[in-house]
Amino acid sequence: MRPARRRARGRARPAPAGERAPASGPSGALPPLDDRDFERFQAWIHAASGIHLAPVKKALLVARVGRRLRALGIDSFARYFELISGPAAGDERAHFLDCITTHETRFFRGPRQLEFLEHHLLPGWLAAADAGLRARRLRVWSAGCASGEEPYSVAMLLLQGLPAEAGFGLEILGTDLSPRVLEQARVGVYPLARAEEIPRPLREAWMLRGKGSQQGLMRASPRLRARVRFQTHNLHDPDDLLDGRFDLILCRNVLIYFDAVARAGVIERLVKQLAPGGTLLLGHAESLRDTTQRMRLVAPTIYALADAEAPAAGLS
């Protein structure tokens, strides 16, 4: 692969309602999902992931889970529920959670937040390090990263803005509930059409364009992939802890899929993972209002620890 010349555009979250249930096997129809079984799925999904599956999503569950019934040769939703909730589930629990979620993201999503990172946070980190007020090390966590476009975007910006002579160590972690999309992220191969969302200088520096059998694809360069680490992580599980704390956490368009209780628990854990002076970025429809006193609003969807100094964003 060679540098991509065209301009490039994945979090595990419930998919939109309204999907039609596909036909099942030779009989052409899926078995019915009664309300009692749907409620059992709802409760299990919430307990396992914190995701609240509203009643209007029943058709979605039938459509998505019906594929697993066919693949496994199971003839009812009740039997499938017994499988995922029983001791013989194996990897099927992960398959189930994966099939009821949609992994939607793109490169350089949320440009205002990335501008804040580039023009406010990064200069602040450099100045603090030069003044001996912080270590020359940055840790970033992209929570709910899906197929990796978000952490790769952040990595490109930081690698561009950190001069070699600054001597900064950089660690970027991407996590998701789905092992399948994380494997996509590790490979780092995307349709070339997504190059349109990557600024040209960054695209040419960090992305490779496919040739031959890889025509129409692009791949994150080995140098870029080496800077980003991926692992499975369940934001809802209080025992699923990450090592250390982070200067920047991105958890964008993930909290909206939790109910109020689950969301409060996730926020508490995210805040605990922030380093002193750390910053948290949320999605455009998300807020920390009435959930924690430890964070202060710097700009829309941008929060800093309340006891730490942070530059004013000047954003509206």
Contacts of 197 by beta carbon, 8 Å cutoff, 6+ apart: 7, 8, 9, 106, 107, 108, 109
Average pLDDT value for the chain: 88
pLDDT at 229: 98
pLDDT band at 289 (very low <50, low <70, confident <90, very high): confident
Fold for domain 105-305?
Answer: Rossmann fold (3.40.50)
pLDDT at 27 over 80: no
Average pLDDT over residues 175-190: 95
pLDDT at 291: 84
Average pLDDT over residues 288-292: 85
pLDDT at 3: 55
Is 96 in contact with 68 (CB distance < 8 Å)? Answer: yes
Domain boundaries, the chain: 12-103, 105-305
How far apart CA 250 and CA 286 sit, in angstroms, is 12
pLDDT at 183: 96
Q: Report residue 173 as tokens.
A: 């972690």
pLDDT at 2: 54
Kindly provide the b/e burial profile for residues 82-104, where b requires at least 16 CB atoms within 10 angstroms of the residue's own CB: ebbbeeeeeebebbbbbbbbebe
Lowest mean pLDDT across 3-17, 41-55, 86-100: 3-17
In eight-state DSSP terms, residue 301 is T
User: Looking at the domain covering 12-103, what would its CATH class be?
Assistant: mainly alpha
The model's pTM is 0.85
